[in-house]
């Protein structure tokens, strides 16, 4: 996977926000998972546009937002008010080479990343190491062995052949992912599944309609429906104390 091509894709925040019904679903799922808990130190990596963590800033004593995209960081900054500035830290940089030192976090968010980076398993291990004992880890991934994911990968392969897309997404099998996280000392608490793709028909629907259709079919994290049909999974893990 070419890192420059990935970075170029995510610098186009307007394209990313075209599918903001996914951001809405992921943010709501995150909110369901954390409930009314408070967290001292939180890491949102990659933070993207900030839409996942910003709604819950009142529950965080300090929030670090990291992304390799300059435009994503700039957009994330705009999600917060001036009164929150003292509890925020923004880092634009490469996850693999950044020195976190002794920093450890009560909550780490990894949303929308594993499919896009050059070494997802190393990134996963580095992320897990940043979670404090007893801390919370919220991770999103697409199960590459799910039947719907296979349709997505076939569709994306056609787009690459046509020159529309520049790189192939990583294929992350759920079984292997769960095994690595559990071996890292984490317990799976709950998860929520849905399908994030309309397989080439996305432009036929507004974001609001896509959101309503998705919710009607899959429900939400509190009242999940038809979970076996969902290939995109957001997991809630807790690290052993």
Q: Contact, 77 vs 67, CB < 8 A?
A: no
Average pLDDT over residues 147-158: 90
Q: Name which of 82, 101, 81 is nearest 91 in CA terms.
A: 101
- pTM, two decimals, is 0.90
Average pLDDT over residues 39-55: 96
- Give me the chain's average pLDDT, please: 91
How far apart (Å, rounded) are the C-alpha atoms in residues 157 and 154?
A: 5
What does R_g of the chain's alpha carbons equal in angstroms? 17
Average pLDDT over residues 164-171: 83
CA of 143: how far to CAs of 100, 112, 162, 175, 200, in Å?
29, 13, 25, 8, 19
Q: Contact, 42 vs 30, CB < 8 A?
A: no
Tens digit of pLDDT for each residue in 65-90? Answer: 999 999 999 999 999 999 999 999 99
Tens digit of pLDDT for each residue in 189-201? Answer: 999 999 988 887 7
**203 pLDDT tier (thresholds 50, 70, 90):** confident
- The residue assigned the tokens 């974001």 is 207
Q: Helix %, strand %, coil % for the chain, to 5?
A: 40, 25, 35
Domain 3-239 has CATH 3.40.50.150: yes
**2 pLDDT tier (thresholds 50, 70, 90):** very low
Q: Contact, 186 vs 125, CB < 8 A?
A: no
């Amino acid at each position: 996977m070419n890192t420059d091509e990935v970075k170029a894709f995510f610098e186009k925040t307007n394209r990313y926000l075209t599918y903001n019904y996914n951001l809405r679903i992921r943010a709501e799922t995150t909110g369901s998972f954390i409930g009314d808990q408070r967290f001292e130190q939180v890491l949102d990596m990659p933070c993207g546009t900030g839409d996942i963590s910003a709604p819950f800033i009142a529950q965080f004593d300090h929030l670090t937002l990291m992304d390799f995209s300059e435009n994503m960081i700039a957009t994330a900054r705009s999600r917060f008010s001036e009164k929150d500035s003292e509890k925020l830290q923004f880092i634009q940089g490469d996850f693999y080479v950044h020195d976190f030192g002794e920093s450890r976090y009560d909550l780490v968010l990894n949303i929308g990343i594993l499919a896009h980076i050059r070494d997802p398993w190393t990134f996963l291990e580095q992320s897990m190491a940043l979670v404090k004992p007893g801390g919370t880890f919220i991770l999103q991934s697409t199960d590459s062995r799910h039947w719907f994911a296979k349709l997505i990968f076939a569709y994306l392969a056609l787009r690459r052949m046509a020159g529309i897309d520049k790189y192939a997404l990583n294929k992350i099998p759920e079984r292997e992912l769960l095994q690595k996280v559990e071996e890292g000392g984490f317990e799976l608490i709950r998860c929520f599944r849905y399908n994030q793709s309309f397989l080439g028909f996305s432009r036929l629907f507004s974001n609001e309609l896509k959101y309503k259709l998705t919710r009607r079919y899959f429900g939400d994290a509190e009242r999940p429906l038809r979970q076996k049909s969902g290939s995109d999974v957001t997991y809630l893990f807790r690290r052993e104390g």
